[in-house]
Structure 1
């Protein structure tokens, strides 16, 4: 004759196995849903994207040839002397408008024996 407690144990084990399979199936369904949403979203973005410019719409080189970089040493403009307090718009523009071309155009160099930076391990200029 079978034991009743053995039957209950087998029913519980069977229930747990079904629960485990159900969780795996639910996980696979969520994963498939996420992948499908990603694919759908990327196709939608790609369809709304503008097309590439045609060859006649491509940028062209200026008539005078390529634009070159200008290297020069800049010096700040002097502070105007005034008895009144000056407002920012009275001081002049920003960027290069507040500077002028410097008298010396050679690049500043480190002195011989200098380390080039604080804490770089060199003895520094003496």
Structure 2
């Protein structure tokens, strides 16, 4: 019984020490930014989402060498598609697996 009480006092003392240590560390940190220092919207307003159709950008072939170097690769794995017309879903022609539809008629 005494060992459990001493163990509880030890744990409580450790928690009190940890809180005091955290308060000292926080007092040494830089102050929080004021409202004027917070980020704000640009004068032109919010940035809006751009929707476009993307397609895979193929890796170029190494001509006359064994391999391509990193600076010879493209910066993204996809590129803007020439055809920006979005293909629409046609009823009865496609759907998800197990969607409950009758499928092709």
**Global fold match (TM > 0.5):** yes
Higher helix share: 1
> TM-score, normalization: structure 2?
0.65
The CA deviation string for residues 36-59 of structure 1, in whole angstroms up to 9 with x for no partner, is 211221231233123321222211
Greater C-alpha Rg: 1
Aligned residues: 98
Q: Does residue 91 of structure 2 align to residue 91 of structure 1?
A: no
> TM-score, normalization: structure 1?
0.57
Specify every segment of 5 or more residues in structure 1 that has no aligned partner in the other structure, as ranges: 1-23
- RCO (CA 8 Å, sep 6+): is it higher in 1 or 2? 2
Paired residue secondary structure (2:79)? strand
Query: Is the Cα contact below 8 Å between 1:112 and 1:125 reproduced in 2?
Result: no
RMSD: 2.8
Specify every segment of 5 or more residues in structure 2 that has no aligned partner in the other structure, as ranges: none
